[in-house]
Amino acid sequence: MVKSIVSRAVLQCVEQGVRSSSADEDPLEIFHSPATQLIKEEIVRTGHKLWQRQYVDGNGGNISARISKDYVVCTPTLLSKGDLHVDDLALVDLENRRLCGNRPHTSELLLHLEIYKTVPQARAVVHCHPPYATAHAIAGVVPQPNLLPEQEVFVGPVAISPYETPGTHEFARTIVPLAKNHNTILLANHGLVCWGDTVTHAEWYVEIIETYCKTVMVASQLRQRLPEIPPEKIPDLLALKRRLGLSLPDTRFPATSAEEAAIDEEPKRTRGSAGPDSAEVEKLVGLLTEQVIAFLEKY
Q: Catalytic residue among 25, 29, 95, 108, which?
A: 108
290 is annotated as an active-site residue: no
DSSP string, the chain: -HHHHHHHHHHHHHHHTS----TTS-HHHHHTSHHHHHHHHHHHHHHHHHHHTTS--TT--EEEEE-SSSEEEEPBSS--GGG--GGG-EEEETTS-EEE-SSPBPTTHHHHHHHHHH-TT--EEEEE--HHHHHHHHHT-PPPSSS-HHHHHHT-S-EEEPP--TTSHHHHHTTHHHHTT-SEEEETTTEEEEEESSHHHHHHHHHHHHHHHHHHHHHHTT-SSPPPPPGGGHHHHHHHHHHTT--SS-TTSPPPPHHHHHHHSPP---TTS----HHHHHHHHHHHHHHHHHHHTT-
Question: Which residues participate in catalysis according to the annotation?
Answer: 108
